[in-house]
């Protein structure tokens, strides 16, 4: 049973990455463009600190993570953005995320940090580039799902 789960790991990580990136990008799109319900009934004014920059990181970082392009770098910046949001916006109100409304910031921070260490998993656009580079050099790409052994 564990061998089957191990073979499915890259796909589970890939689906986790896709969903996390989509949700994060949706927050950015809502804040910047007022879509999907908008940022509390409107949009964030362009260039305002930190809201506009956070929304831009959410949209771009979430989109890159969703596609699996530069996943580790995008996830690191996104994780840091959410850590900043938690400690500057939410944590001064109360200690625990449940009390200060920072659950989403905390969860996104840790989810993106996990992706920094696990990588993009399967179904990532990065794998198109690494497989081409590996084929050109004649070596096997160990990060691709079919290269994982049980």
Rounded to two decimals, the pTM is 0.83
Please report the pLDDT score of residue 150 as a whole number: 44
Please report the pLDDT score of residue 138 as a whole number: 66
Please report the pLDDT score of residue 39 as a whole number: 60
Please report the pLDDT score of residue 125 as a whole number: 94
Please report the pLDDT score of residue 51 as a whole number: 86
- DSSP assigned state of 4: H
3 state SS for 123-143: CCCHHHHHHHHHHHHCCCCCC
Can you give the pLDDT of all 150 residues of the chain as single tens digits? 889 999 999 999 999 999 999 999 999 999 898 888 766 667 887 888 888 999 999 999 999 999 999 999 999 999 999 999 999 999 999 999 999 999 999 999 999 999 999 999 999 998 888 766 666 666 655 555 554 444
- As to burial, measured by CB atoms within 10 angstroms (0-12 exposed, 13-18 middle, 19+ buried), residue 127 is buried
Question: What separation in angstroms does the CA of 115 have from each of 3, 12, 60, 87, 136?
Answer: 22, 12, 16, 21, 27
């Amino acid at each position: 049973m564990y061998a089957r789960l191990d073979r499915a790991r890259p796909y589970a990580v890939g689906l986790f990455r896709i969903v996390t990136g989509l949700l994060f990008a949706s927050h950015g799109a809502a804040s910047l463009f007022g879509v999907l319900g908008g940022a509390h009934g409107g949009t964030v004014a362009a260039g305002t600190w930190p809201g506009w920059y956070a929304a831009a990181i959410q949209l771009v970082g979430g989109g890159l993570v969703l596609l699996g392009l530069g996943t580790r770098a995008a996830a690191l910046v996104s994780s840091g953005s959410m850590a900043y949001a938690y400690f500057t916006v939410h944590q001064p109100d109360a200690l625990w995320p449940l009390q200060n409304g920072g659950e989403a910031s905390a969860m996104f921070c840790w989810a993106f940090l996990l992706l920094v260490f696990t990588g993009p998993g399967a179904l990532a656009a990065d794998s198109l580039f690494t497989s081409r580079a590996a084929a050109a050099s004649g070596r096997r790409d160990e990060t691709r799902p079919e290269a994982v052994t049980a």
